[in-house]
Structure 1
Amino acid sequence: MTALSGECSPDILSRLGIGPSYGEKLVTKLKDEGLLKTHYKDRLRGYRLACGGKKLLLAQNPERFSFYLSGNTETNHPRSGYPRRLRLQQASHIYAMLLNAGITFFRDEKPLIFREEPQAGESVRMPLPIFYHSREVKELGTEAVKIGNSRIMGILFAPGCIYALFHTGTAPIKWEYQTELRVKTFLSHHISRGILSRGSIEPCYHPDTPIRLLFIGSGMDTALKLMESTGGFQKSYFCLDSSFDYFHYVPDDAAGETTLRLLCSPALQKALRSLLLSDLEPPCPDYGLEHDAVSEGMPVLLAFDFDMLRLSRFRTALSFHGLAGNLVCFDFQKPVLQQYFGDAAAIETIDLYKFERRFLH
C-alpha cells in the first residue's frame, strides 16, 4: 500500500487484519531495517518507503512497482503539502478497500490498456472488476489532459458499468461541475470510439454502458453531508448535480468493502433485489414517482446501493405528492437515511452480517 500510494495511512494496518500490538512491532522492525520511515507534519502522520524499501520492492517485483518507484513521480518523491499528502493517504485507503473486496489493481495482474496498444489479432482480457489509478489513466498522454484537473482517484471497471471513483474524506469534496463532467465525457468517448471500444479488448463496453460516480468517505455521516450540501460559498464544493446519472456512496470501512463487492457484481445485485421484491407488489405507475415496488399502498425504494441522486429524487417526489414511502437498506445505512427522510419514509433493514453469510461465503 505504501509503494502504490506514496504515503500510507497508519489506519491501514487494522484494515489489513494486523492488530495494534503486532502492527507496532512490525513498523518498528521495518524502520530498523531501513525499509520504512514515518513522516509527520501538520498533525498528519503517515508511512513512506525508505530507500532500502524501494530497492527491495524493485528488485523483487519490478513489473508491479517500477511505475510507482521510478523517476520524479509523486509516489516516489511525495511532497510535503497537506492536501497532497492527504490525497496520497486516501489512495492507500482505496487500495486497502480494493484488496479486501477482491478487486484487481496491481499492474502485473492487469492489462495496461492506457499505455499499450494490443498487437494485431491479439485479444486482451480485463479481469473484471479492475481498477486503474488516475496516474495510470494519464499514460494516454495529451488526451488525458482533458481530465487533468479532476478530483478523480481512479476508474473502476465492473461488469456492465464503469465507476469514476472519488474519495471525499469527512466533508464534501472540492467540485467543479464542468471539470468532472469532462470525466464522464472522456469515458463515454472511449466506450464508443476509444480504447474500450476495440474488438481486441474483452469485455468491450457498449456505447450506452452506465458511467456511475462512486464516492468513498469516512463513515456514513459524510453521506448526509454530501446529500445536504449546497456547494458552499461560491459553489466550490460538491452538491448533487447532473454531471453523472448515478452518485453512489460507500463508507471507508468493512461495511463499505462489502457494499463495494455488491456494486461490482450484477449477479449479486439481481439476487438481492429478487429476494427483497419477492414479498412486495409491483410498482404502481399512478404514483408518478420512481420506485421499485409497493407495500401496503406505499411506494418502496430499494436503497442498498445508496445512490444519493435517486434518494434525493425519491424524497423530493414524496414531498411533492404528499406521500409516505418505504426504504429498504442495509442496517449501517439506516441512521443516515432516518435523518435525511425524517417522517417521510419508514425504513426496513437488511442485516449486513446475514447478507454476507448468505451471499458471500
Structure 2
Amino acid sequence: MSAGLESRPYVLPKLQGECISKTVPEFPCLYLARELKRVDELGTNKTQFTRLVGAFFSDRECRAVYNTRNAVMKWSGMGEFKARQSITDIARLNAGISRVDSAILFAKSYDTALQTLLESDRSRRMEFRFDAVYRHIHVVTMDENGVRLLQLLSVPDWNEQLLDLLFDPEQRSYNKGQFEYDACIDGVYILSHLDGDIARLIRFRDALRMGAGPSEVLCFPFQVEFLQEFLGQATQFKTIDMSAVEEAIGQERRKLFDG
C-alpha cells in the first residue's frame, strides 16, 4: 500500500472464473492468494503447497507474487508450474492477459536474494528452478528502496523508456542478441539490473562464463554489494541514483509511510 498498490479485498472487484470479463481495475493492485483460490475451488490444490501470496496487476500485465521474508526461498517444483497456470487462467478471464511469465519476490534483504540464488545453483532438477518457472523474477526488498522499486514496476514500460534515454537505438539489443544484455557500446555488453530481475541476471552470468566478452551492469547503489557477491570479478558496475530514474520517467516520489 505504501507503493500505491490497492490490496484490500473489500475494495477490489471480486474475481470470477466463468467468462472473459474486464474485472481487474485499471490502477495497480494486488490480489491476495486467498482471493485467487476462491475463484475456483477445484483449483485450490494448485496453489496451496506453494509460497505464492498473490498476483500483481498493472497496465495489462500480471505478475505472480511470492514472499520469502528472511529465509531462503524454496520452490516446490511442479507446484509452481501449476500455480502459474492457475494465475494465467485467472488473468485471462479477468484482465484479458494471456501470458504470465513474471514474478515478484519480496525479501527482507538482498542477502536473502543472494542465498536464494546460490541455493538454486545447487538444484539437481534444472527444469524446476525458479528461472525455469518464470522468465523474469524481480526482487523487491522490504524497505524504502523496495517500496520505490515497486512503484517503478507499476509504471508501464518504465525500463524500456529509461533504456531509450540512456542508449542510442543502434546500441540497443532489443532482446535480439545471442545472450541476455540490453546494449553494447564499443564491444562492452551492458545489462540493466534496475528492475531487480534475478532470472535475467542468471542468464547474463551464464553468458559471461561462456566467454561473452567485456561487460557492465547498470544498477542502483544499494544493489552493488549483492551483484558483486553473485557475479564476482566477471564484470564492472555502473550505478545510477533512483531519484534520477524516477525523474527521467516522470515518476514522482511519494512520501513514504505517512501518518
* TM-score, reference length from structure 1: 0.61
In the alignment, which residue of structure 2 is the partner of 1:342? 232
Q: Is the 8 A contact 1:289 1:314 kept in 2?
A: yes
Find the residue that maps to 2:199 and give its secondary structure: helix
Q: Is the 8 A contact 1:162 1:210 kept in 2?
A: yes
Q: C-alpha offsets along residues 151-192 of structure 1, whole Å, 9 cap, x if unaligned?
A: 111111121321111111223123211111111111223344
2:8 to 87, 96, 106: 106
In the alignment, is the contact (CA less than 8 A) between 2:9 and 2:35 conserved in 1? no
The whole-number CA distance in structure 1 between the counterparts of 2:205 and 2:122 is: 22
Which consecutive residues of structure 2, in runs of 5 or more, have no partner in the other structure? 253-259
After superposition, give the CA deviation of every residue in 1:208-245 in whole Å (9 maximum; x if it has no partner). x343121010111222112211477998xx95441222
Contact 2:49 2:76 in 1 (8 A): no
- 2:30 pairs, out of 131, 135, 144, with 131
The farther-off stretch of 159-168 and 280-289 is 280-289
Deviations 1:30-87 (A, max 9, x none): xxxxxxxxxxxxxxxxxxxxxxxxxxxxxxxxxxxxxxxxxxxxxxxxxxxxxxxxxx
Change (3 A) 1:286 1:100: closer
- 1:286 positional shift: 10
How far off is 1:265 after superposition?
A: 1.5
Could you state the TM-score of these two structures normalised by the residue count of structure 2? 0.83
Q: Pick closer, same or farther for the CA change 1:215–1:286 going to 2, 3 Å.
A: closer
1:177 paired residue number? 77
Contact 2:173 2:182 in 1 (8 A): yes
**In the alignment, is the contact (CA less than 8 A) between 1:284 and 1:294 conserved in 2?**
no
Partner in structure 2 of residue 12 of structure 1: none
**Within-5 A mapping of 1:24-103:** 99-103=1-5
How far did residue 335 of structure 1 move?
1.4
Per-residue deviation, 1:270 = 3.1
Q: Is the 8 A contact 2:152 2:251 kept in 1?
A: no
Q: Which runs of no fewer than 5 residues in structure 1 stay unpaired? A: 1-98, 197-203
Corresponding position: 1:292 with 2:182 = yes
1:143 CA drift (Å): 2.6
Go from structure 1 to structure 2 and tell me whether the alpha carbon gap of 1:131 and 1:283 turns closer, same or farther (over 3 Å shift).
closer
CA deviation map 1:251-272 (0-9, x unaligned): 1111111111111222433322
State the Cα distance separating 1:123 from its structure 2 match. 6.1
Shift of 1:142: 2.6
Q: Distance between the aligned counterparts of 1:245 and 1:285, measured in 2?
A: 13
Q: Does 1:307 align with 2:197?
A: yes
- Helix, strand or coil: the match of 1:229? helix
Q: Report 1 or 2 for greater relative contact order, CA contacts < 8 Å, sequence distance ≥ 6.
A: 2
- Which whole-Å CA distance do the structure 1 matches of 2:50 and 2:6 have between them? 23
CA distance in structure 2 between the partners assigned to 1:176 and 1:313 by the alignment = 21
**What percent identity do the matched residue pairs reach?**
25
**8 Å contact 1:293–1:299 — kept in the other structure?**
yes
Residue equivalent to 2:55: 155
Greater radius of gyration (CA): 1
Structure-2 change in CA distance of 1:123 and 1:214 (3 Å): closer
Q: Distance in 2 between matches of 1:240 and 1:211?
A: 11
Equivalent pairs, count: 248
Contact residue 191 and residue 217 of structure 2 kept, 8 A: yes
Is 1:228 aligned to residue 118 of structure 2?
yes
Deviation at 1:302, TM superposition (A): 1.2
Call closer, same or farther: CA 1:279–1:340 in 2, change over 3 Å.
farther
Q: In the alignment, residue 32 of structure 2 is paired with which amino acid?
A: H
Of the three residues 312, 319, 330, the one matched with 2:220 is 330
Measured after TM superposition, the shift of residue 317 of structure 1 is 0.6
1:262-286, Cα deviation, whole Å (9 max, x unpaired): 1122243332222222498233999
Counterparts in 2 of 1:257 and 1:211: CA distance versus 1, 3 Å: same
Q: Structure 1 residue 244 and structure 2 residue 134: aligned? A: yes
Q: Can you list the C-alpha shifts for 1:114-172, whole angstroms capped at 9, x where unaligned? A: 48x79xxx964513311111111122223333222121111111213211111112231
Q: CA deviation at 1:311?
A: 0.6
Query: Does residue 1:216 correspond to 2:106, yes or no?
Result: yes
Task: Please tell me whether residue 320 in structure 1 is matched to residue 210 in structure 2.
Answer: yes
Counterpart secondary structure, 1:108: coil
